[in-house]
């Protein structure tokens, strides 16, 4: 499909720079059925919109302070202090090496040392074909410890371009389910959940499961191709254990719905499902790219924030509900002053039952 089919005009003032407070006070657009009926609700209404026996699936990845600013010291004969280097880690390679997008990377050579704050150093090992770099962190401390000392939360560019990162983002840009270190972007659909909302869901008889997908900075990369067939999707690492897969399959066999909280959850569940619509255990990279025409195998509904024009995530929700339905839903959201993107409002997408 043509990528420009997924375009829409978003006024800049609709981009949220801070989350709702309390989190479950955010608005939520209910989009349901083949005709895409639209209803304005709030996140705290979620228990009444689901049925006993349904199950919500959350991503328990934890965002690490993966954005670093440092200096490549001056080489012999080079004037000045060297080059300012910015790095955003986006995919772990092993215990000490990460793949990173690098700002001012033209000033780097393979083998250069980069000095970050708090005595954190890394070697620029390899310049990769996609323009990113492999950084090897020096010393014996775990890289996560080094990042807590020297790094900042990697806010999305559409927020970071409007304001600086602060201490409040360390908690705001983290879900209540976060425990597995490794993400460089939050699974933002779950930012809306509070202990009070979880208690209400429990009382309603709605189940809860977790999986792990470490969201990479590639989620913010624009689609540069003119046709979706020509876009190369970034890879992210995820895992679903056998017991979780078994419980989700039991829910579906009993007539309950698997509701993905976020596109990261949906992508991993669909990566793990086989041709018979059975969710299998999974551990590894997924680069699944979901566009209209895809047959969903594992997910019956999706709770998700509002996404960027021409993004892979807007393509995904269009595959679930239909492009015309989602264009109409987003037009309604813009006209009704919904807040967009990572810190913005939510939507609950319920396609016709298969």
Cis peptide before 195 (omega within 30 of 0): no
Residue 163 has pLDDT above 90, yes or no: no
Which H/E stretch holds residue 350?
strand 346-350
Residue 219 has pLDDT above 80, yes or no: no
What's the order of all strands across the beta sheet hosting 301-305? 37-42, 27-32, 346-350, 301-305, 258-261, 55-59, 207-213, 236-240, 282-286
pLDDT at 153: 87
> How many CB atoms neighbour CB 181 within 10 A?
16
The C-alpha torsion from 175 through 181 and 187 to 192, rounded to 10°, is 0
- What is the number of alpha carbons within 13 Å of residue 350 lying toward its C-beta? 17
pLDDT digits (tens, 9 = 90+) for 110-153: 999 999 999 999 999 999 988 899 999 999 999 989 999 999 88
Range with top average pLDDT, 23-27, 61-65, 98-102 = 23-27
Q: Checking DSSP bridges between strand 82-92 and strand 97-103, what pairing results, if any?
A: antiparallel
Mean pLDDT of the chain: 93
Sketch out the chain's domains with CATH numbers.
Answer: 3-63+170-350 (3.40.1780.10), 67-150 (2.40.10.240)
């Amino acid at each position: 499909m043509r990528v420009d089919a997924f375009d829409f005009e978003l006024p800049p003032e609709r981009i949220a720079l801070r989350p709702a407070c309390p989190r479950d006070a955010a608005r939520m657009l209910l989009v349901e059925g083949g005709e895409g009926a639209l209803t304005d609700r709030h996140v705290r209404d979620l228990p009444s919109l689901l049925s006993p026996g349904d199950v919500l699936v959350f991503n328990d990845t934890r965002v690490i302070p993966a954005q670093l600013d440092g200096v490549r010291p001056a080489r012999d004969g080079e004037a000045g202090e060297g080059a300012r280097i910015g790095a955003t880690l986006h995919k772990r390679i092993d215990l000490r090496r990460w793949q990173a997008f690098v700002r001012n990377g033209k000033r780097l050579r393979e083998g250069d040392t980069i000095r970050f704050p708090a005595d954190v150093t890394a070697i620029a090992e390899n310049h990769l074909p996609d323009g990113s770099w492999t950084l090897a962190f020096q010393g014996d401390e775990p890289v996560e410890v080094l990042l807590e000392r020297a790094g900042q939360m990697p806010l999305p560019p559409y927020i970071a371009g409007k304001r600086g990162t602060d201490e409040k983002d360390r908690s705001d840009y983290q879900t209540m389910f976060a425990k597995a270190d490794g993400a460089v972007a939050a699974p933002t659909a779950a930012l809306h959940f509070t202990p009070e909302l979880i208690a209400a869901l429990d009382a309603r008889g709605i189940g809860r499961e977790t999986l792990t997908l470490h969201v990479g900075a590639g989620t913010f990369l624009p689609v540069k191709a003119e046709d979706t067939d020509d876009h190369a999707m970034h890879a992210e690492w995820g895992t679903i254990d056998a017991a979780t897969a078994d419980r989700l399959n039991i829910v579906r066999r009993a007539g309950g719905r698997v509701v993905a909280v976020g596109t990261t959850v949906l992508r991993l569940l669909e990566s793990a499902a086989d041709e018979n619509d059975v969710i299998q255990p999974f551990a590894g990279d997924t680069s699944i790219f979901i566009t209209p025409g895809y047959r969903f195998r594992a997910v019956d509904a999706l709770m998700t924030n509002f996404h960027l024009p021409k993004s892979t995530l807007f393509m995904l929700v269009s595959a679930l509900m239909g492009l015309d339905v989602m264009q109409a839903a987003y037009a309604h959201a813009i006209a009704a002053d919904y807040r967009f993107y990572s810190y913005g409002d939510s939507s609950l997408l319920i396609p016709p039952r298969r």
